Amino acid sequence: MKSLANLADDLAAGRTTSVDLTEAALARIDDPAGEGSRAFIKVYHQAAMDSARASDQARAHGVVPSPLAGIPVSIKDLCDVAGEVTLAGSIVRQDAEPAQQDAPTVARLRAAGAIIVGRTNMVEFAMGALGTNAHYGTPKNFFDRATGRVPGGSSSGAAVSVTDGMAAAALGTDTAGSVRIPAALCGMAGFKPTAQRVPKDGIYPLSRTLDSVGPLAPTVACCALVDAVFAGEAPPELSTMPLRGLRFAVPKHLVLDDMDEAVAGAFERSLEKLSENGALIDHIDFPELARMPVINRIGGFSTAEAYTLHREVLDRAGNQYDQNVAARIRLGEAWSAADYIDLTDIRADMMRAAHDRSAPYDAVIMPTTPVIACAIDDVADGEAWNTMNRLLLRNTLVSNFLDRCALTIPCHDQGEAPVGLMLMGEAMADHRLLEVGLAVEDCVAPDLA
């Protein structure tokens, strides 16, 4: 992986061209020994090369619309593209009507001059954290590829497209961790914005309450740049801040349970590094988090809202769904209107209580996932899939439920299994969290090389 800033510098200095970058990305996608056939559902060979040539010509005349100009990116298969059917990682929608226009986030990538190389594979209908897909295959995590480990989901192909050089950055979506989980398990940065900052129009929904759109990219600065494009903002001017004096809260409840040895070791080392560099670490009571498993015992907003969307199709074509996905969606059938209203009220109360606990701190920190990526074969049966799925979603769902922004940063040592450190900020404090994240990344993340 190479940072977007380095790629932009190479383009500006003439050390490379958009055509060169795009050809290299497409070659990696097409490599039969690689993961391209599983990481992508559709590849835009001709359109990407045409856009790259146009980008180089525009640059030669001084037209560079953004720091993303000329750089290959991928988009998740939830995104509308004009004239195409949005499959959402499924075969059920193959006969659906084509989209009339690009999703705003896709249109903004094009306006920024990014080269869209293809649509990435995902968990069907974004309904899972492992990254498996029964229809289009499961792209393997770059770590321990011989074993064949899950990439994380639901933005599975998005993560693999970046680690394997098939794209420099990726558009993902995050309803309960679907950006941050694959980013953490694959060793890169991933950012979940406060949901309202980035438009969700033209993105096939999972949960209208919890869905958000965010980037997966090599570094925090890369995520900040792509996030600004998604949000329709100017390129960010993030200030560099010292770690000394920053205050971080580590919740005592829920998020440190059931860590495996690799995650526990990397997390403790990260806390030590932050403390040694002057950050203040407080382990705080956060009892609201202990309520999360009970509150979401039948799937929370995601299953209720997904079932509303899918119930008619499930009735006539349920056998065409991945059965792990179908089973999760059908949990929504058990919801009553009273259950849904109760959950909405509980969420509002928890958001207020959580703000009071975390407001004195620059960020709440926790492991992004409590375990590293498991082997694909280990979650082949439904019970194992569900157990691991719930575990991977547990920590990341907190940010969506509380309507916060959140950032994952790799914190493992070079050569070890990827582990993510998650920072959770306040609602609409996205830029502040990204600035804090730059300081934390400089302290705990392994070098890209």
Tokens of 232: 């329709």
Q: Which of 257, 175, 179 is nearest to 422 (CA)?
A: 179
Question: In this model, does residue 447 exceed pLDDT 90?
Answer: no
The CA-based diameter of the chain, rounded to the nearest angstrom, is 62
**Angle formed by the axes of helices 4-13 and 18-30, nearest 10°:** 130
In this structure, the strands spanning 40-43 and 406-410 are: unpaired
What is the side-by-side strand order in the sheet with 40-43?
A: 40-43, 115-120, 72-76, 169-173, 213-217, 189-192, 406-410, 420-424, 363-367, 247-251, 280-284
Question: In this model, does residue 298 exceed pLDDT 80?
Answer: no
Pick the CATH number of 247-444 from 3.20.20.70, 3.40.50.2300, 3.90.1300.10, 3.30.450.20: 3.90.1300.10
Residue 414, pLDDT score: 93
Where does the pLDDT of residue 297 fall: very low under 50, low under 70, confident under 90, or very high at 90 and above? Answer: confident
Question: In this model, does residue 25 exceed pLDDT 90?
Answer: yes
Cα–Cα distance measured from residue 173 to residue 204, given in angstroms and rounded to the nearest whole number:
10
Helix (H/G/I), strand (E/B), else coil: 199: coil
Where does the pLDDT of residue 51 fall: very low under 50, low under 70, confident under 90, or very high at 90 and above? Answer: very high
Tokens of 113: 């001059």
Tokens of 270: 């990260």
Which CATH code is given to the segment(s) 4-231? 3.90.1300.10
Q: Write out the DSSP string of 101-163.
A: S--HHHHHHHHTT-EEEEEEP-SGGG--SS---TTT--PPPSTTTTT-B---SSSHHHHHHHH
Residue 243, pLDDT score: 97
CA-CA distances (angstroms) from residue 347 to 131, 337, 400, 424? 27, 15, 10, 17
Helix (H/G/I), strand (E/B), else coil: 297: coil
Q: Render pLDDT for 274-296 as a digit per residue (tens, 0 to 9).
A: 999 999 999 999 998 988 988 87
% of the chain surpassing 90 pLDDT = 96
% of the chain surpassing 70 pLDDT = 100
In this structure, the strands spanning 189-192 and 169-173 are: unpaired
Q: Render pLDDT for 303-322 as a digit per residue (tens, 0 to 9).
A: 999 999 999 999 999 999 99
The catalytic residue positions are 76, 154, 178
Question: In this model, does residue 299 exceed pLDDT 90?
Answer: no
Question: In this model, does residue 267 exceed pLDDT 60?
Answer: yes
Residue 293, pLDDT score: 85
Residue with tokens 């994240």: 437
Residue 186, pLDDT score: 98
Residue 342, pLDDT score: 92
Q: Render pLDDT for 65-96 as a digit per residue (tens, 0 to 9).
A: 999 999 999 999 999 999 999 999 999 999 99
Question: SS3 letters for 212-258?
Answer: CEEEEECCHHHHHHHHHHHHCCCCCCCCCCCCCCCEEEEECCCCCCC
Q: Which of 34, 48, 200, 20 is nearest to 118 (CA)?
A: 48
Average model confidence (pLDDT) across the chain = 97
Where does the pLDDT of residue 392 fall: very low under 50, low under 70, confident under 90, or very high at 90 and above? Answer: very high
Tokens of 158: 């998005």
Question: In this model, does residue 98 exceed pLDDT 80?
Answer: yes
Question: In this model, does residue 126 exceed pLDDT 90?
Answer: yes
Residue 65, pLDDT score: 98
Burial label for 383, CB within 10 Å (0-12, 13-18, 19+), is: exposed
Residue 145, pLDDT score: 97
Instruction: Please provide the distance, in angstroms rounded to a whole number, between the alpha carbons at the two ends of the chain.
Output: 8
Q: Where are the domains of the chain?
A: 4-231, 247-444
In this structure, the strands spanning 115-120 and 213-217 are: unpaired
Compute the average pLDDT of residues 54-65. 98
Ranges 58-67, 121-130, 298-307: which has the least confidence? 298-307
Shared fold status for 4-231 and 247-444: yes
Residue 166, pLDDT score: 98
Tokens of 258: 């059931």
Question: In this model, does residue 449 exceed pLDDT 60?
Answer: no
CA-CA distances (angstroms) from residue 435 to 114, 218, 224, 241, 444? 24, 16, 9, 7, 15
Residue 294, pLDDT score: 81
Q: Which of 248, 286, 293 is nearest to 393 (CA)?
A: 293
Q: Render pLDDT for 144-189 as a digit per residue (tens, 0 to 9).
A: 999 999 999 999 999 999 999 999 999 999 999 999 999 999 999 9
How many other CB atoms are found less than 10 A from the CB of residue 330?
Answer: 18
